């Protein structure tokens, strides 16, 4: 995984995560998309704060039998960074409080 | 088939636009189409869209800021709990008005330029506008809104791609959309004047790849145009699947050009609810899913990925909207219609009027 476990992420101020009966929806400036699998769960852990490592730890606790969990979570976080849904915080930066 | 839950609403507020871009994809006869939805009507559409499951609205046109009641329309979209995205040419919008829109809850802005410098951009736009566009980009960032810089590409400006990327970096854009011309409306009429060469596209692609490999900078969206691809794009992510278009006349459509397809009946948001128009209008149902497909689409393993491409392109180029989009190399018409068009050349385009 390319992301260091000490790195902290947050939902971009330009993105929204919406919960609907049919599942989670990620809303970005140019579009909205349904989030499959545990994507919404991972994004909520990002919103709650904590490092990449702590997100991985929580997911490991929840899904102890998933063999590729670390790589899948890592790939997903990188994909979300790539599409602008997530941003990396600087080492000393405080997460933006939810509005 | 049963209508899926849509996520996006594309609200075409007007066909009016001060620019005269030769690649405009508005219908050729847009001047004949009456602007029929008031701010109240749009508010009702937004409320109904939200109840239907829509979470995002693109306020677009034409040029949406040509409407004097854009503020009121935006307020209604925000009140309906929609994420609001403004797609603008940057004129006649100005900084104070953009600031007002931001205060009312606007979240993101896409601003189009026609080239990387004033002389070239203004020549393509047919209007002195570049400097205003750049000032508006800077204001967008100052206001803390998401900024997408958009540049439609064609033969005249593909060589400027490195400069457009540099400009997007300087403006600190979140996203740069390098959109190869799609040949609909006026763009199809000007196809022979706009068609790039494969060499130009390869060079532009190299510049994009180079920029993507560098740290920082905007996300860059760039895909080979239909005429140089082997497979069609999943137009609108599928007909009547994720996005609802409401055009300035109030017609509820799967894409902004579908109203020009003959024989399809679409319903109007001023006469029925958005849900009725989305789920049950004959036009909206015509190409949903895969049941309507002819061969080679019908048995193609990619039919759920590209949805047979663009129905409007199939109609414009083949005269039958049910046929496989000829952009697909599996289409029996691909060589005759698409490959041959790459060689067309005329010097002058016709400005949008």
Q: Which candidate from A27, A30, A32 shows the least CB-CB separation from B148?
A: A30
pLDDT one-digit tens code per residue, B222-238: 988 889 988 999 999 99
pLDDT one-digit tens code per residue, B113-159: 999 999 999 999 999 999 999 999 999 999 999 999 999 999 999 99
Residue of B nearest to A20 (CA): B53
For range B249-258, the mean pLDDT = 95
Burial of A17 (0-12, 13-18, 19+ CB in 10 A): middle
pLDDT of residue A1: 54
Put residue A50 in one of left, alpha, beta given phi > 0 → left and psi -120 to 50 → alpha. Answer: left
Q: What kind and span of H or E run contains A10?
A: strand A9-11
Which chain A residues touch B144 with a CB distance below 8 Å? Answer: 13
Which chain A residues touch B5 with a CB distance below 8 Å? Answer: 22
- Asked whether the beta carbons of A4 and A25 are under 8 A apart, the reply is no
Mutate which of B175, B176, B213, B236 to test chain A, going by most A C-beta atoms within 10 A? B175
Which chain A residues touch B2 with a CB distance below 8 Å? Answer: none
Residue B32 three-state SS? helix
Distances (CA, A) of B179 to B226, B244, B298: 11, 21, 29
pLDDT one-digit tens code per residue, B36-48: 999 999 999 999 9
pLDDT one-digit tens code per residue, B284-335: 999 999 999 999 999 999 999 999 999 999 999 999 999 999 999 999 999 9
Q: Which candidate from A29, A32, A82 shows the least CB-CB separation from B108?
A: A29
pTM (predicted TM-score) = 0.94
pLDDT of residue A20: 86
Cβ-Cβ contacts under 8 Å for B294 (sequence gap 6 or more): B322, B323, B324
A96 and B CB contact within 8 Å: no
Cβ-Cβ contacts under 8 Å for B341 (sequence gap 6 or more): B191, B192, B195, B227
Strand pairing partners for B349? none
Residue B288 three-state SS? coil
Percent of chain B scored above 70 by pLDDT? Answer: 100
Residues across chain B = 353
């Amino acid at each position: 995984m390319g992301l260091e476990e000490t790195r902290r992420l947050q939902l971009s101020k330009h993105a929204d995560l919406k919960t609907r009966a049919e599942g989670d929806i990620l809303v970005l400036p140019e579009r909205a998309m349904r989030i499959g699998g545990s994507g919404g769960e991972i994004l909520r852990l990002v919103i709650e704060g904590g490092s990449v490592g702590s997100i991985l730890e929580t997911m490991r606790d929840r899904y102890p039998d998933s063999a590729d969990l670390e790589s899948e979570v890592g790939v997903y976080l990188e994909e979300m960074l790539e599409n602008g849904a997530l941003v990396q915080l600087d080492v000393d930066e405080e997460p933006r409080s939810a509005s | 088939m049963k209508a899926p839950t849509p996520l996006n609403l594309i609200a075409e507020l007007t066909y009016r636009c001060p620019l005269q871009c030769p690649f405009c994809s508005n219908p050729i006869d847009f001047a004949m189409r009456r602007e029929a939805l008031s701010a109240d009507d749009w508010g009702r559409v937004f409320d109904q869209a939200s109840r239907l499951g829509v979470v995002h609205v693109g306020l677009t046109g034409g040029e949406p800021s040509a409407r004097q009641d854009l503020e009121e329309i935006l307020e209604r979209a925000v009140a309906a709990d929609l994420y609001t995205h403004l797609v603008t040419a940057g004129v006649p919008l100005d900084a104070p008005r953009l600031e007002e829109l931001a205060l009312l809850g606007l979240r993101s802005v896409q601003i189009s330029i026609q080239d990387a410098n004033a002389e070239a951009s203004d020549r393509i736009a047919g209007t002195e506008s570049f400097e205003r566009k750049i000032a508006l980009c800077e204001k967008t960032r100052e206001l803390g809104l998401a900024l997408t810089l958009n540049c439609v590409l064609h033969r005249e400006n593909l060589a400027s791609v490195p400069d457009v990327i540099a400009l997007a970096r300087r403006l600190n854009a979140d996203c740069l959309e390098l959109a190869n011309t799609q040949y609909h409306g006026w763009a199809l009429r000007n196809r022979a004047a706009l068609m790039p060469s494969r060499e130009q596209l390869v060079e532009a692609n190299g510049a994009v790849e180079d920029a993507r490999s560098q740290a920082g900078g905007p996300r860059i969206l760039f895909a080979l145009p239909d005429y140089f691809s082997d497979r069609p794009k999943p137009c609108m992510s599928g007909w009547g699947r994720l996005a609802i278009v409401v055009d300035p006349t109030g017609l509820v459509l799967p894409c902004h050009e579908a109203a020009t397809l003959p024989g399809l009946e679409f319903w109007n948001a001023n006469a029925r609810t958005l849900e009725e128009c989305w789920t049950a209008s004959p036009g909206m149902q015509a190409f949903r899913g895969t049941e309507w497909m002819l061969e080679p689409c019908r048995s193609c393993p990619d039919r759920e990925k590209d949805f047979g491409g663009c129905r409007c392109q199939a109609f414009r180029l083949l005269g039958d909207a049910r046929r496989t989009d000829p952009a697909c190399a599996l289409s029996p018409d691909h060589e005759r219609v698409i490959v041959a068009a790459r060689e067309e050349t005329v010097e002058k385009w016709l400005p949008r009027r």
